[in-house]
Amino acid sequence: MTDSRRDELAANLAAVQTRIDDACRAAGRDPSEVTLVVVTKFFPGDDVVELAGLGVEHVGENRDQEAGPKVAELDEQVRSRLTVHFIGQLQTNKANHVTRYADVVQSVDRAKLVRALDRGVGNALEEGARHTPLAVTLQVDLGQGEDRGRGGAAPEEVPALADAVAAAEHLQLRGLMAVAPLGLDDDGTRAAFERLARLGEDLRREHPEATWLSAGMSGDLETAVTCGATHLRVGTAIMGSRL
């Protein structure tokens, strides 16, 4: 890790935190209500180590073939300070492996994946590869009509999917996650995140523990904060352009 890279990460992290603080102030929210998940996909483990040294506690990865080895290479002391979020689309045949290193899977979008993750966590617990249940959020597709494709369950599928997670032995339902549909202006993005917030309210009536609302990335985090996001997934604004 060069001094210039360390300084770059520190400056970017400070700038993003200032944006979050300003957005919370404008929305009348306490910044402590918002968790920053730094998305480290495509960047080396050395960057993750440096981020941990800068006080980052949550990192996000979206490719199992990259994330698994990267997390495995972390020093035990560094790993113990981090919560690793898997945020990408997940094939059921990768679920067993992801449960070996992820603390959270944010992209649960179908019952088959719920079953695969539950089995994977059960196996990992038996083998001593993990010692805690797996926290999950349900990914919701916020597109409307023809505008689909960012991934996630349809809104009408959320109640049954939530019930499936709640019934799973080794999973803990934390809330909802979504990505704003492509091509929206600021008003459209806000409307999409407001739909997510309403879905979150509906979910908490049946599952009061599901308090997370994961929404917002580098370009729209202020809008997400305004709409009640509790978790922001920020990559480029902190890490820079992908390698």
For the segment 17-37, what is each residue's pLDDT rounded down to a tens digit? 999 999 999 999 999 999 999
**Distance in angstroms (rounded) separating the CA atoms of residues 49 and 5:** 12
Q: 3-state class of 170 per DSSP?
A: coil
User: What is the pTM assigned to this prediction?
Assistant: 0.96
How many angstroms separate the CA atoms of 55 and 69, rounded? Answer: 22
More confidently predicted of 65 and 242: 65
The count of structural domains within the chain is 1
φ/ψ of residue 132, rounded to 5? -135, 160
Q: What angle do CA 177, 174, 135 make, to 5 degrees?
A: 100
Amino acid at 166: A
213 closest CA partner among 223, 228, 198, 202 = 228
**Spatial distance between the Cα atoms of 36 and 134, rounded to a whole number of angstroms:** 19
We report the CATH number of the domain holding residue 193 as: 3.20.20.10
Question: Could you tell me what percent of the chain has a pLDDT over 70?
Answer: 97
Could you tell me the residue range of the domain that residue 9 belongs to? Answer: 3-239
Q: What distance in Å separates the CA atoms of residue 87 and residue 151, rounded to the nearest whole number?
A: 11
Residues of the chain with pLDDT > 90, as a percent, come to 92
